[in-house]
Amino acid sequence: MLGLESLEDFEGARYADFWAFAHALIVYTQKGMARVFILNPNARQGRLTRDWQAWKRRHLSNQPGGQQEPEHWGPPEELVSQGFDEWVVVGGDGSLQRAIHVLLSAHARGAIQKLPLISVLAMGTGADFVRSLGPVSAGGESVDAGRVVLDGGEPRYFINVASAGFSARVAEAKERMPAWIPRGLAYLVPTLLELPHAAPTQMRLLAPGTRTEGRAWAVFICNGSHAGGGMRFGANARLDDGLFEVTWVEDLPVYGVLLRLPQVYSRLGLVEQKGVRKLDLPALTLEAPAGVTLLMDLDGEPVLAQRAEFAIIPAAATGLRMRRFPEPKS
């Protein structure tokens, strides 16, 4: 089914794209449901693969009534046409974003008519989407998604939070952090390390009836409420309201950023206040001055562009349903 047969083949391949190859395990459940578990073996500096193998031995080795196919390696695009009832994404928000992008791209071009149920088996560094999603029924919750066009290119899709500015720099720096840093501090540590060396970015936000321009530490385009390992940037963001909650953090002094940092870990999150502007928008354009490139991230995955056009894709347009994968009974 997939392109590579072993981890050795994967490790020998040229790894230019963070998600060039996926690990896939197909399981047919007791009820005849075709379920595929997918993960990025490069996530968490390779530690995700070890955790996945332990989880699989504990929960899938002796499940009665089901059957499994041999595991495979290959790009996740090869799974689209297989007709699975459920995709279980093993990992965090970056892995989930890639799966969402693959499926919604296929849906947009008519390659598939019905999306599978998407479940999240949270093992990633941040795993913030499951915080945004909260408890849902076994059948999943209908959720919106985000679409972005970078510099006039092909649409990219994300599910939780996109950002530009210092926040994207933190997401990129997080990948260079030592493996011994606890997952709960994986974003806070690079935030504190990078802040003294960073500066606000000149940006412009355009939307119908709205224009905001100036130097900003960060702009968060929130479909979900949480990002950055539990930070709540979208204080009132909902996954099913057809709107982004956009948070514009102005050119504050460094001490002003530090004073507001505890708020993002609070129950209320980062609310509108002096230096922090909030907008509810179904679409917006974010751009840098001519000749300047913005560092951005989509669910923690870094991207570069001078101009980014964002739009909400309502759940009604795609039939996208998501849930947290229920822990099997051992």
pLDDT digits (tens, 9 = 90+) for 178-233: 777 776 777 788 788 888 888 899 999 999 999 999 999 999 999 999 888 788 99
Among the residue ranges 10-19, 76-85, 211-220, 228-237, the one predicted with the least confidence is: 10-19
Which part of the chain has CATH 3.40.50?
A: 7-143+317-324
Q: Residue 220: what pLDDT?
A: 95
The CATH classification of domain 7-143+317-324, taken from the options 1.20.1340, 3.40.50, 1.10.3470, 1.10.1760: 3.40.50
Which part of the chain has CATH 2.60.200.40?
A: 158-313
Coil, strand or helix at 167: helix
* Residue 182 to residue 185: CA distance in whole angstroms: 5
| Of 329, 328, 324, 270, the residue nearest 96 (C-alpha) | 324
Task: Determine the average pLDDT of the residues in 279-291.
Answer: 95
Strand partners, 146: 158, 312
Task: Determine the average pLDDT of the residues in 46-64.
Answer: 75
Task: Determine the average pLDDT of the residues in 27-56.
Answer: 76
Cβ burial 71-110 (10 Å sphere, 16+ → b, else e)? ebbbbbeebbeeebebbbbbbbbbbbbbbbbbbbbbbbee
| This prediction's pTM | 0.85
Cβ burial 12-50 (10 Å sphere, 16+ → b, else e)? eeeeeeebbbbbbbbbeeeeeeebbbbbbbbbbeeebbe
At 148, give phi and psi (nearest 5°).
Answer: -140, 140
Q: Which residue has tokens 């990633």?
A: 124
Fold annotation for 158-313 = Tumour Suppressor Smad4 (2.60.200)
Coil, strand or helix at 107: helix
